[in-house]
Amino acid sequence: MSKPSSSPQKVTSRRAFLQGSGLLLGFTMLGAGIRPGFAAAEPVEGDVIAAFSPDAFIRVDSDGKITFILPNIEMGQGTHTGEATLIAEELEVGLDQVTVVDAPPNEKLYTTALLGGQATGGSTSMRATWEPLRKAGAAARTMLVSAAAAQWSVPVSECSAKLGVVTHQPTGRQLAYGALADAAGKQPVPSDVKLKDPKDFQLIGKSLRRVDTAGKVNGAVVYGIDVRVPDMKVATVAACPVIGGKLGAVDETAARAVPGVRDIVRLDNAVAVIGDHFWVAKKGLEALTITWDEGANAKLSSADIMNTLKAASKNKTPIMARQEGDVAGALKAAVKTVEASYELPFLAHAPMEPINCVVHVRADECEIWLGTQVPTQAQGWAAQVTGFPLDKVIVHNHLIGGGFGRRLVAEYVGQAAAIAKQVSYPVKVIWTREEDIQHDLYRPTYYDRLSAGLGADGLPTVWIDHVAGGSVLGNYIPGGWPQDKLDDDAVDGAAKPPYDLPVIQVDWVREDPPMPITWWRGVGPTHNVFVVESFMDELAHAAGKDPVEYRRALTKNQPRAAGVLELAAEKSGWGSPLPAGSGRGISLHNAFGSFMAAVLEISVSPAGEITLQRAVVAVDCGIAINPNTVEAQIEGGLIFGLSAALYSGITFSNGRVEQSNFHDYRILRINEAPKIEVYHVKSLESPGGIGETATVSAGPALANAIFAATGKRLRSLPIDRNQLKSDGADKTSVSMMPPLAAPLLAVLANGKERPETGVETEAETL
């Protein structure tokens, strides 16, 4: 296949790419099976090869170096460690014996079947790779062991592998994988392999050290934003502040006068300044006088969007997602009916690493460096903008400084390529945080109306959920999503709640907002479970029942849901007394193939300030491949969801986003974070997703805790503290500035004092 080498080599000219459409990412979240064994026997363009390259994932060199090429990108969720564990378990090596690299863009080899594309998202990575990567490891081990047996002329059954060494048991002879690499490459790839019984797992189920973090404590890791290539310049960009607007006139005079400014590049809807470094580019951008052609959305406001959505919810014919039983009859027969409507805001992703991309457009090819959840989509954008074929767009993917769905879209690669193709040198485009917040693709706003009929026992005899909002999937499908077809994401978390609800109707009215929208951590369930679990709490209280007792009565035929419910209730001390002004809220769901119950304990001050005291989470995610990572994702996911529920919302006025940076798009801080305890329900089910499950749990647990603490039911997010205050003061602008670290220096060169936060002085110039 290839000559042995001391380290894996990039294949530079093998057979042509077999690419799907680089711009298509067809999420098929529901009902999609896991495609077995998405490995190919032969390396292709952009692949890494070595003496032993049995499939798309495993490379063993003659010197013993073992490399795993992992299909999913690491953005903090622990996927590199998890996927490496799956291979290593069956290959019989330790994680400390392997190097992991990201897969090159290649839809044929590295498509995540659950997503229908080479993408990392929707908490699908471990679910999608659970079988294929273990099979890849087992097949490779079989070939290595067979090669050793052949060399010794002994039966394969007398040989076994452990920690990268094959041993002939009767004689104790040993050969390391590196020494077997050439011979193993000549063995046939087994068509069927037997996977280990879970009781024999050596690595799966243990909290192994993460493989990606050593370089994250000393600045060694290179994220996309850290890439430096020879002769590179740095650009920053301003897109039209009004959604859909275009660039009008630009007066460049003052910007050109800034020393170090090299070029000013105009795009259809944006202008970029390129300089020797970011600071110069930013100074140059601020010095431009720009006139925008604001277009049709110049007067658009959040109220307009919500009013349109509410009207659509009431007047448009919905698309049915689920209808079971005699809904009208059950409503008529109900002892009591309950109705409520809920409003959810637009949300920005705000990953800590601002949007960035390095692009070098040469005469006959284009090279890009970035961190992306969708490498083939990034490649497709650059190809489309530059006009080069896909195989002339070289993509270098990097570890990601936060994705959360933002890097499931690669539109900024198109922008960066459009800038770079106007100059001869490589350009690193970095968005300011303001640009990142104001030109994100947002989690859409929703307006949902729920109603239920209760029987004599207080339990729901009928459950109706009318969802209204945009189609996120529609933003990914070329040509859009058909108007009359259900977007499963819109009702994910609503259509199949983990309750015994024999009479149920869930439908969706589609009303796309005027701006592009996308997935946000927790996708459909983050929106729908807030509504479902808030309403479930409302029904419990309407029936005069305890919220846990009420859910218990509705999960008699839902053993996994009941299991986490009981565990969370027990560990949280549910029902035990709390001081006045405090309360506990619960949420329960089954998103991403996992089951989770969360109990949040809070207190609310007379001023309406919420303190998050303690969170107790019970999870049944099937086999926990790395329990420590599961816990880390639950802790972090919960914080992410609480942060959004407490503070986050993108609003529009005169077509412009009103928030701009972390002072007004506030993120939860360490002094506000609750204590978090995570408990596992032991399970031998296949792994469920975990990266987003606790984000889903957070909002409803908070809203239900607020009700328990104050008796006030908040049906819209983010939480409006004005509704919680009992001291009469206006909380509209309360503590937007969190406390900052005390002894920080803030002295300018000329000796003038300057506030360490810099927010007042800096924000004015942005």
Does position 216 interact with other proteins (CB under 8 A)? The reply is: yes
Query: Does 650 engage in binding with other proteins (CB under 8 A)?
Result: no
Does 77 help bind other proteins (rule: CB under 8 A)? yes
> Positive or negative, the Cα torsion across 422, 423, 428, 434?
negative
What are 588's strand-pairing partners?
Answer: 597
Locus of tokens 């601020």 = 286
Judged by CB under 8 A, the stretch of 17-25, 464-472, 529-537, 735-743 that binds other proteins is 735-743
Which is nearer to other proteins, 186 or 669 (by Cβ)? Answer: 669
Distance of alpha carbon 641 from alpha carbon 648, whole angstroms: 10
End-to-end Cα spacing for the chain? 56
624 with 69: CB under 8 angstroms?
Answer: no
Residue 279 near other proteins by CB under 8 A: yes
Q: Which of residues 388-407 bind other proteins (CB under 8 A)?
A: 399-404
Tell me: does residue 640 bind other proteins (CB under 8 A). yes
SS3 for 674-692 is CEEEEEECCCCCCCCCCCC
- Find all residues with CB under 8 Å of 93, minimum gap 6, and list them: 66, 163, 164, 177
Give the relative orientation of helices 547-554 and 559-572 as an angle to the nearest 10 degrees.
160
Query: 532 and 540 in contact (C-beta within 8 Å)?
Result: no
210 binds other proteins (CB under 8 A): yes
- Shortest separation between residue 124's beta carbon and other proteins, angstroms: 18
For the record, the structure tokens of 48 come out as 């890494």
Interface pick for other proteins out of 577, 670, 727, 728 (rule CB under 8 A): 670
Pick the piece of the chain touching other proteins (CB under 8 A) from 18-26, 292-300, 426-434, 496-504: 426-434
> Which one of 12, 315, 576, 671 is in contact with other proteins (CB under 8 A)?
671
Distance of CA 291 to CAs 143, 248, 280, 371, 433, Å? Answer: 66, 5, 22, 32, 22
Query: Given candidates 48, 66, 70, 75, which one binds other proteins under the rule CB under 8 A?
Result: 75
Measured from the CB atom, the residue of 25 and 258 that comes closer to other proteins is 258
Whole-angstrom distance, CA of residue 493 vs CA of residue 529: 5
Q: Is 427 in the site for other proteins (CB under 8 A)?
A: no
Query: Are 66 and 98 a contacting pair, CB within 8 Å?
Result: yes
Please tell me whether residue 120 binds other proteins under the rule CB under 8 A.
Answer: no
> Are 539 and 454 spatial neighbours (Cβ–Cβ below 8 Å)?
yes
Site mask for other proteins (CB under 8 A), range 240-269, x = bound: -------------------x----------
Give the residue ranges of DSSP H helices in 155-291.
177-185, 253-256, 278-287
Query: C-alpha angle 282/285/287, rounded to 5°?
Result: 110
How far apart are alpha carbons 539 and 550 in whole angstroms?
Answer: 9
Binding mask 17-56 for other proteins (x = CB under 8 A): ----------------------------------------
Query: Which of 383/400 has CB closer to other proteins?
Result: 400
* Cβ distance to other proteins smaller for residue 75 or 619: 75
C-alpha count within 13 angstroms, C-beta hemisphere, residue 638: 27
Q: In 3-state terms, the chain is what percent helix, strand and coil (to 5)?
A: 30, 25, 45
Q: Which stretch binds other proteins (CB under 8 A): 275-283, 317-325, 385-393, 465-473?
A: 275-283
> Which listed range, 33-41, 532-540, 550-558, 631-639, lies at the site for other proteins (CB under 8 A)?
631-639
**Residue 331 engages other proteins in binding (rule: CB under 8 A):** no
Does 13 engage in binding with other proteins (CB under 8 A)?
no
Provide, rounded to whole angstroms, the least separation between the CB of residue 690 and other proteins.
12
Is residue 648 within the footprint of other proteins (CB under 8 A)?
A: no
- Candidates 18, 257, 333, 740; binder of other proteins (CB under 8 A) is 740
The answer to whether the CB of 16 falls within 8 A of the CB of 45 is yes
Nearest approach, Cβ of residue 703 and other proteins (Å) = 19
Cα–Cα distance, 654 to 364 (Å, whole number): 43
Nearer to other proteins, 210 or 510 (CB): 210
**Is residue 747 a contact residue for other proteins (CB under 8 A)?**
yes
Nearer to other proteins (CB atom), residue 398 or residue 656: 398
Q: Which is nearer to other proteins, 191 or 218 (CB)?
A: 218
Q: How far is CA 17 from CA 1, 46, 47, 50, 248, in A?
A: 18, 9, 11, 20, 40
Residues in CB range of 199: below 8 A, 6 or more apart: none
Site string for other proteins, 336-375 (x = CB under 8 A): --------------xxxxx---------------------
Binding segment for other proteins (CB under 8 A), chosen from 47-55, 569-577, 617-625, 733-741, is 733-741
Q: How far apart are CB 698 and other proteins at their closest, in Å?
A: 10
| Minimum distance, C-beta of residue 619 to other proteins, in the bound complex (Å) | 16
Taking only Cα atoms into account, the Rg of the chain, rounded to an integer number of angstroms, comes to 28
How many binding residues for other proteins (CB under 8 A)?
83
Contact 237, 650 (CB under 8 A): no
Q: Does 614 bind other proteins (CB under 8 A)?
A: no
Q: Which is nearer to other proteins, 25 or 399 (CB)?
A: 399
Q: Does 736 bind other proteins (CB under 8 A)?
A: no
At residue 336, what is the residue type? K
Pairing of strands 582-589, 595-604: antiparallel
Nearest to 589 by CA among 451, 751, 704: 704
- Residue with smaller CB distance to other proteins, 152 or 278: 278
- The only residue of 32, 149, 229, 763 in contact with other proteins, by rule CB under 8 A: 763
Please, which residue, 322 or 396, has the CB nearer to other proteins? 396
Query: Does 83 help bind other proteins (rule: CB under 8 A)?
Result: no
The single residue among 387, 669, 726, 729 that binds other proteins, judged by CB under 8 A, is 669
